[in-house]
Structure formats: structure tokens, C-alpha cells
Structure 1
Amino acid sequence: MEGGPTHFYDEIEPFCRWRRTENIDILELHLPSGLKKEHLKIHINNNGILTITGTCPVDQTESMRFKKETKVAKNCRINEIRAKFSKGVLYVTMPRTSPIATGPSVALKGVISQTLDPKADDNMTNVAKCASEFHNKFGSLKQRLCRKTVVEGVAALVVVAAALVGVVKAYQYCMASPV
């Protein structure tokens, strides 16, 4: 047979770890020794899929390669995604926008402006503050729930639903109590 030697590729699956905070996601990709910055390619497509590939020669006839794909969060600021390669670890930093606070506090504000009794206004203001605080904590919890498994998510959702029922019951109690 004529031609050059056959080239083989060893497909690897690098260790991958997510670190998440309220405003940023960091993907850590632990890559094998020998892989250099020049061997890496990072691309994000229009559907929000981040693709990281790498190919590194081992010898004349063999190379190792990998491909990692992950969906970027919907609230990720795509233009601000950054990557850093240091000591065999690729860090991909994905900043997120803050969630917009909407929900129960907005609905209650309309009710507050319609009340006529000043004492009822105070009660409604307290309820609105409570609902607003609950909503802010619920939004943070909702973000963390998106990262959990289905079973953990369902269990947490049941807890959140119970808390929401508690807030509604407290509101009803405040409204029913004599002033």
C-alpha cells in the first residue's frame, strides 16, 4: 500500500465541573497534560450551544481529541463570555443578567393604592413588603432549581408551593382580622 501512515484519534472525555453563583456560571474543563491553548477551539452557535473542542498530537500516528457541548443559560450575556486556560484547566466564564423582579409584589401594589383605610394601607404595605421579599427569595430559589435533577426539582417545587400557600393564608388572615 502506498501513502502515509494511518493516523489514529483517541477520543477522551475530560472531567467537567460547574461552579455557579447568582451572577455567573463557570465551566471548568480539566484537560490532559500536553494539551495547549493552541489546541483548543471554543464556539457558540445561534441556538445558544457552546462547543469546546480540542485536538493534541500524541506522536506521529496518534492524537487525542475531545468535544464538549453545553447549552448556555437563557439569561447569559453571550458577548461577555470569556475563557482562560491555566495549568491544564480551561475556565469558561459566562456572566448572567439579573432576574427581573415581577410577580406578587406588582399585583399587591395595585391593591394598596385602592384601599381607603390608613390602617389597612399599613397592613397592605407590610403584606406587600413580605410578598416582595418572598418573591425575591423565590426567584433566587427558582434559578437554583433549574440546575437540579428532576427529583430534586419536584421536591423543592413542593416546598415552594407550600410556602406560597402559607403566604396566601397569612395575607387572607391579615385581611380578615379586625382593624
Structure 2
Amino acid sequence: MALNMEVGSMHFYDEIEPFCRWKRTEDIDILELHLPSGLKKEHLKIQINNSGILTITGGCPVDQNKSIRFRKETKVAKNCRRNEIRAKFSKGVLYVTMPKTNPIAAGPLDALKRVTSHSKVDDDMRNSPNCVGEFHSKFASLRQRLWRKRVVEGVAAMVVVAGAVVGVVKAYQYFMASPV
């Protein structure tokens, strides 16, 4: 949470991480940014720099002393036609459409590297939570649970491998110790 001192009053900013989803095909990339309710088109700013970094920023007031804001940066594909990038804001979701050049013209190696993912947007995700902090806490807890799951799975895999190594060593010792 950031703090901004203004003439005798304090103003708080809550930094949020909006939920993002990519839809990629051979000829177009679409970034969906699910934003909290209360955010309007006028609150958003979208820029792309010469290095191909797309920056989306925005914020909205929650009450007299508190606002939320966010910043999302992503690198666009090398074969993206930057001058044809378009954005549409509808029902709390920002759709950034990035057309690509012909995959054959981009070169065979770039075509091989491209990954296509098709996903269906949850109807629940279209109903964005309110501006207060519910949005941030909902996805922060999801991120923590997913991270915890990866850690537990990694530790479990290490335990299995360690058990297998110990078993192999014990079997070797057993057969080496037995008389022939």
C-alpha cells in the first residue's frame, strides 16, 4: 500500500495484480485483463515502447482517501504488427488484440517456437469483484495456494527420489555382503 500526503490529508493507494489470460493463435494474440468494477475506460492508459514492451496502467478511487491502481507490462511477440494493436474495454475486461505478420514471412524457426493455447473464459471471471480489495485478496490467495502446491509436489518428488537411491544402495550392500 502506497501513501501520498496531500494538503493536510492522506491518500492511500492499493496496488493490485489483475487476472490476465492469453489467447494465442497463429495470426493473433489477445490479452484479456480482468479489472475490478468501478474502473472505467477513462482510467486506463495503454502504451508500447520501441523495445516492444506493452504497458497497461490504470486506477480508480475507492473512497475519499483510498484508490486502487495497477501496472501490467508484457513483451509483445516479435512478429506483432505494433501499429495495428487495438484495445476494447467491455464489462470489466480489457481485450488487447495484437495481430501478427504471416508466420511464413516471420521465418520457420519463429513458427516452430510459437505456442497456441485456447482457453474458455469463466463466466464467473466476467463478474469482476468490487474495487475495495476483494479483487486483490482473491487472486493473491489463489497464487499462494498454487505456489504451495508446487512446493509440496517438489518436496514429494525429492523424497521419492531419495527413497529410491537409498533402496538401490541397500540392495547393492545386501548383494555384496552375501556369500556366493
TM-score range, shorter chain: 0.5 to 0.7
2:26–2:103 contact (8 Å) kept in structure 1: no
Higher strand share: 2
Pick one of 14, 27, 32 that aligns with 1:10. Answer: 14
Pick one of 61, 67, 70 that aligns with 1:63. Answer: 67
Pick one of 77, 81, 86 that aligns with 2:85. Answer: 81
Counterpart of 1:142, as a letter, is: K
TM-score, with structure 2 as normaliser: 0.57
Higher helix share: 1
> Could you say which structure has the larger radius of gyration?
1
In structure 2, stretches of 5+ residues that fail to align are 1-5, 117-180
Q: Deviations over 1:37-73 (max 9, x none)?
A: 0000000011110000001001111000000000011
Q: Deviations over 1:128-154 (max 9, x none)?
A: xxxxxxx7xx86443228xxxxxxxxx
Aligned residue for 1:112?
none
- Residue 93 of structure 1 pairs with residue 97 of structure 2: yes
State the structure with bigger RCO (CA 8 A, min sep 6), 1 or 2: 2
Separation of aligned partners in 2, 1:63 and 1:102? 43
Pick one of 109, 113, 118 that aligns with 1:142. Answer: 113
Q: Deviations over 1:105-161 (max 9, x none)?
A: xxxxxxxxxxxxxxxxxxxxxxxxxxxxxx7xx86443228xxxxxxxxxxxxxxxx
Separation of aligned partners in 2, 1:139 and 1:43? 25
Give the share of equivalent positions with the same residue, in percent.
79
- Residue 50 of structure 1 pairs with residue 21 of structure 2: no
Counterpart of 1:97, as a letter, is: T
Separation of aligned partners in 1, 2:70 and 2:13? 10
- Residue 28 of structure 1 pairs with residue 32 of structure 2: yes
Q: Deviations over 1:2-36 (max 9, x none)?
A: 93310000000000000001100000000001001
TM-score, with structure 1 as normaliser: 0.57
SS in 1 for 2:115: helix
SS in 2 for 1:100: helix
Separation of aligned partners in 1, 2:41 and 2:62? 16
Separation of aligned partners in 1, 2:59 and 2:35? 11
Counterpart of 1:26, as a letter, is: I
Aligned residue for 1:174?
none
Separation of aligned partners in 1, 2:60 and 2:16? 11
2:79–2:106 contact (8 Å) kept in structure 1: no
Following superposition, the deviation at residue 101 of structure 1 comes to 6.0
Runs in 1 of length 4+ with deviation above 3 angstroms?
138-141
SS in 2 for 1:79: helix
Aligned CA-pair RMSD:
2.3
